[in-house]
Structure 1
Amino acid sequence: MKSNLTDTAKTSGKTYIIWAHPRADSLTAQVVDALKKQAASQKMDVAELDLYRTGFDPSLGTEDEPDWQNPNKIYSEEVRTLFAELADVDNIIVVFPLWWYSMPAILKGYFDRVWNYGLAYGRGQRIPARSIRWISLVGGAQDKFETQSKDAYMNDLLTSMALYGGIEDSKVEYLYNTIGVEEDIQNPGEHHKQLIEQAKKVVVSLAQ
């Protein structure tokens, strides 16, 4: 299994987009499409890993279970192939809806299996990218999310994951009230357009 590559003249580094949503017409998918178009307009190389459409299996079996006594363990072909796709990546963007104050299980399984011991960390190994951006689509309102310190929790989780893989430049962008039930959203379509424009700025910032 391999991601889909879109080649353009490389000026701002290669960007690898990892995303997860069961519906190909979801707002998450629309955000990813906008990110790819924005990156292309900036003449950035783009690689996309759509975990659902590629049929990724998030279950970690014995073949990919870390062996703490053997940092040279050979993992499954799927894991080795997907990790190899990070070899010449400058920026990683992870896009996902927030479910139960966390990422979808299929995305968590990607990190469990692919960002593995002896590949992404341990024995001097690390993720080769210089930066990572997390774009999380939050169904509820920003005020409630921040009042309950859910943003602080997610920031700590995602930044810690990045640091464990050796990426110090890690930032989280939240797209709030995607469902529109906690605030008075008169025009959901216009609101979603604004969220997409917000997400595109993440790509713009990578070229600065």
Structure 2
Amino acid sequence: MKVLIVYAHPEPRSLNGALKDFAVQRLQSAGHEVQVSDLYAMRWKAALDADDDRAHLPGARFDASANSKRAFDTGSQSADIEAEQAKLRWADALILQFPLWWFSMPAILKGWVDRVYACGFAYGVGEHSDTHWGDRYGEGTLAGKRAMLVVTTGGWASHYAPRGINGPIDDILFPIQHGILFYPGFEVLPPHVIYRSSRIDEAGFAQASAALGERLDALWTTEPIAFRRQNLGDYHIPELELRPELAPGESGLGIHVRR
């Protein structure tokens, strides 16, 4: 199988760097092909702007979606965007690896999403009708592929537990897992989170590596998160509200996962 790791940490000698190297070795030793997009090493441009469309006329008004769509359709996207889209097409599985900074991904990784997820590539696809509201949330150009987050955080696991001060880790990662991965069609696996990252010593690294190795070995067999697909009847269209008979009386992020 083919695995793309999109990695976002500025220090190669960090825990993240060591875990990324371990992941590449583990996957390759199991016979998988691996590509790594090391965003800091690549000096990835994070800001989506008019320069992403090589055909954009100087002084012309920039519209993020419209320019993205035109550049994608006409083949005038910048070369770095096209290269990352080619990697996504090639991959059977995507791993996003990053430290949790201020309850989200580092800005450089968000910028990778902003630019690579072009209109016509990751969104803005499919028909809109009374029964189908675009190919998204379980459908789309990346359907049939798997994705998983590998996340490090300095806090304790209890800080991210259901009653923890930081909020449940599944809620914190929901915008990434549901909105960035499930939206364009990925089957999203439960995240692999390494807690108390600054306290991990040599013995702790051996344990962290072993745990990550088990997840990587099961990349093709782990059951994905049971996010509700948008166009299979669970939601009213075009309102896109969950039908009242499903999870009655409940609200919040958890209602979008089948139980």
Aligned counterpart, 1:110: 112
Tell me the SS of whatever aligns to 2:113: helix
Alignment of 1:116-195 (within 5 A): 116-124=118-126, 126-127=141-142, 130-146=145-161, 147-148=164-165, 149-160=167-178, 161-180=180-199, 188-195=201-208
Alignment of 1:1-12 (within 5 A): none
Q: Structure 1 CA distance, aligned partners of 2:170 and 2:2? A: 29
CA contact (8 A) 2:147 2:188 kept: yes
CA-atom RMSD in angstroms? 2.0
Which ranges in structure 1 are unaligned for 5 or more consecutive residues?
Answer: 1-12, 181-186
Q: Structure 2 CA distance, aligned partners of 1:128 and 1:85? A: 15
For residue 153 of structure 1, report the CA deviation from its aligned partner: 2.2
Q: Structure 1 CA distance, aligned partners of 2:17 and 2:67? A: 40
Residue 153 of structure 1 aligns with an amino acid whose one-letter code is: D
Q: How many residues are matched?
A: 190
Select between 64-73 and 192-201 the one with higher mean Cα deviation. 64-73
Aligned counterpart, 2:238: none
Residue 59 of structure 1 is aligned with which of 30, 39, 47? Answer: 47
Structure with more relative contact order (C-alpha pairs < 8 Å, separation 6 or more):
1
Aligned counterpart, 1:10: none
For residue 70 of structure 1, report the CA deviation from its aligned partner: 7.2
Q: Structure 1 CA distance, aligned partners of 2:210 and 2:32? A: 18
For residue 21 of structure 1, report the CA deviation from its aligned partner: 0.7
Residue 99 of structure 1 is aligned with which of 87, 98, 101? Answer: 101
Alignment of 1:29-44 (within 5 A): 29-44=17-32
Q: Structure 2 CA distance, aligned partners of 1:70 and 1:59? A: 13
For residue 80 of structure 1, report the CA deviation from its aligned partner: 1.2
- CA deviation profile, 1:10-66 (whole Å, cap 9, x unmatched): xxx101111011111111011011111110111001111111111111111123363
CA contact (8 A) 1:87 1:128 kept: no
Q: Does 1:206 align with 2:208?
A: no
For residue 121 of structure 1, report the CA deviation from its aligned partner: 1.9
Give the 3 Å change call, closer, same or farther, for CA 38–126 of structure 1 in structure 2.
same
For residue 192 of structure 1, report the CA deviation from its aligned partner: 2.2
For residue 122 of structure 1, report the CA deviation from its aligned partner: 1.6
Which ranges in structure 2 are unaligned for 5 or more consecutive residues?
Answer: 53-62, 127-139, 222-259
Instruction: Please report the TM-score for the alignment, with normalisation by the length of structure 2.
Output: 0.68
Q: Structure 2 CA distance, aligned partners of 1:109 and 1:150? A: 25
Give the 3 Å change call, closer, same or farther, for CA 70–140 of structure 1 in structure 2.
closer
Q: Could you say which structure has the larger radius of gyration? A: 2
The structure with more strand, counted as a fraction of residues:
1
Q: Structure 2 CA distance, aligned partners of 1:126 and 1:170? A: 18
- CA deviation profile, 1:181-202 (whole Å, cap 9, x unmatched): xxxxxx7221122112212222
Residue 64 of structure 2 aligns with an amino acid whose one-letter code is: P
Residue 114 of structure 2 aligns with an amino acid whose one-letter code is: D
For residue 69 of structure 1, report the CA deviation from its aligned partner: 7.9
CA contact (8 A) 2:104 2:173 kept: no
Q: Structure 2 CA distance, aligned partners of 1:92 and 1:77? A: 21
